């Protein structure tokens, strides 16, 4: 099933994200965790793509597994910036051959040691080039892309970030999933600006439940997200008590999701990070809202 068809339906729904193992020895435990999440019957599951592509086979295997065993639509992430064209074309063919209909077209982060490198001979510079190649491949993919309510960290300003986002959508992105954020007002403000700029595709807010204090710094470093005082107080109070922090983090994420639903968003994506217990608890907290 194509994700755009789910997103065009205004029934409230939830999807979950998982990431592939880094090594073959971890494959079975990740597979088990993803299957536990698939059993919750989310509207779809996305599977991330390891930076540099070394774990791409696992991404595809997990996507196939979720789709074939649990009949849950899967979204395969694919990055391009560290790859050559031949490799990307092979990956696109493999995704098509596996029967995966949905692809998240991403640039990928530029490795730290290449940040100042001469980029003139790189095969890919931006996600839009991957979007175009997916369209040109002849496969009938539903293509998603990433967007950043708090601006992509490399963008000089929000205006140019939104302009590039518009170009990516015009090239064929049918929906956009947001970077994590912890203050819904940032999302509402972003939505207003992108709609004004003529970006009309469905936007799927991405919510990250922070369930331990160590995650906080990593999440902020990776995403550059603003931490509201309300969230900081919660980490200050419960950060040293793992069970309390987990419960408070899940409650905070649930609260964000309920507010999004209440303000007209029908579909929310949860960065569930291979944690079935977290996915299960969030879904249970929303059981009457989702009718599950």
The strand pair at 13-18 and 206-207 is best described as unpaired
Contact string 107-146 vs ligand FAD (x = CB under 6 A): xxx----------------xxx-----------------x
Out of 57, 65, 96, 155, the residue judged to bind ligand FAD by CB under 6 A: 155
Q: How far apart are CA 58 and CA 43, in angstroms?
A: 21
Instruction: Give yes or no for residue 154 binding ligand FAD (CB under 6 A).
Output: yes
Let me know: does 66 contact 107? Beta carbons within 8 Å: no
Residue in 17, 101, 129, 174 annotated catalytic:
17
Instruction: Give yes or no for residue 1 binding ligand FAD (CB under 6 A).
Output: no
CB of 128: closest distance to ligand FAD in angstroms? 6
Instruction: Give yes or no for residue 48 binding ligand FAD (CB under 6 A).
Output: yes
Instruction: Give yes or no for residue 49 binding ligand FAD (CB under 6 A).
Output: yes
Half-sphere exposure of 226 (CA within 13 A, CB side): 12
CB of 161: closest distance to ligand FAD in angstroms? 4
Quick one: which H or E segment has residue 87?
A: helix 85-97
Stretch of 43-51, 88-96, 115-123, 240-248 contacting ligand FAD, by CB under 6 A: 43-51
- Respond yes or no: is residue 217 known to be catalytic: no
Q: How far apart are CA 227 and CA 208, in angstroms?
A: 12
Closest-CA residue to 78 (of 162, 151, 141, 152): 141
Residues numbered 159 to 198 that lie near ligand FAD (CB under 6 A) are 161, 164, 168, 177, 179
Q: How far apart are CA 205 and CA 210, in angstroms?
A: 16
CA distances from 194 to 102, 202, 258 (A): 23, 11, 22
Instruction: Give yes or no for residue 149 binding ligand FAD (CB under 6 A).
Output: no
CB of 11: closest distance to ligand FAD in angstroms? 22
| CB neighbourhood size of 194 (10 A) | 22
Closest-CA residue to 191 (of 265, 289, 138, 105): 265
Strand, coil or helix: 166:
helix
Residues numbered 241 to 280 that lie near ligand FAD (CB under 6 A) are none
Residue 105 or 248 with smaller CB distance to ligand FAD: 105
Instruction: Give the residue carrying structure tokens 């999004």.
Output: 260
Q: Which residues bind ligand FAD (CB under 6 A)?
A: 48-49, 51, 77, 79, 106-109, 126-128, 146, 152, 154-155, 161, 164, 168, 177, 179, 206
Question: Which residues are designated catalytic?
Answer: 17
């Amino acid at each position: 099933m194509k994700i755009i068809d789910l997103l065009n339906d205004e029934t409230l729904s939830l999807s979950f994200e998982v990431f592939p193992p880094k090594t073959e020895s971890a494959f079975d435990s990740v597979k088990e965790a993803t299957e536990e999440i698939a059993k919750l019957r989310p509207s779809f599951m996305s599977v991330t793509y390891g930076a540099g592509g070394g774990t791409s086979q696992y991404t595809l295997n997990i996507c196939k597994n979720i789709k074939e065993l649990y009949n849950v639509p899967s979204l395969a992430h694919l990055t391009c910036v560290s790859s050559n064209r031949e490799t990307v074309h092979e990956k696109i063919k493999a995704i098509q051959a596996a029967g995966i209909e949905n692809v998240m077209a991403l640039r990928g982060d530029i490795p730290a040691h290449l940040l100042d490198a001469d980029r003139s001979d790189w095969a890919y510079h931006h996600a839009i080039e991957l979007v175009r190649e997916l369209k040109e491949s002849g496969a009938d993919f539903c293509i998603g892309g990433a967007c950043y309510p708090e601006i992509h960290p490399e963008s000089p300003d929000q205006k140019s970030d939104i302009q590039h986002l518009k170009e990516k959508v015009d090239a064929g992105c049918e929906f956009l999933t947001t970077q994590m954020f912890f203050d819904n007002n940032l999302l509402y403000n972003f939505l207003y600006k992108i709609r004004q700029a003529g970006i009309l595709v469905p936007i799927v807010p991405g919510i990250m439940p922070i369930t331990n204090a160590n995650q906080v710094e990593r999440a902020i470093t990776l995403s550059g997200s603003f931490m509201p005082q309300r969230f900081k107080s919660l980490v200050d109070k419960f950060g040293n008590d793992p069970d309390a922090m987990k419960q408070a983090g899940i409650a905070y994420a649930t609260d964000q999701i309920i507010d999004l639903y209440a303000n007209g968003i029908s579909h929310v994506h949860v960065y569930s990070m291979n944690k079935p217990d977290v996915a299960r608890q969030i879904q249970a907290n929303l059981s009457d809202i989702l009718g599950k």
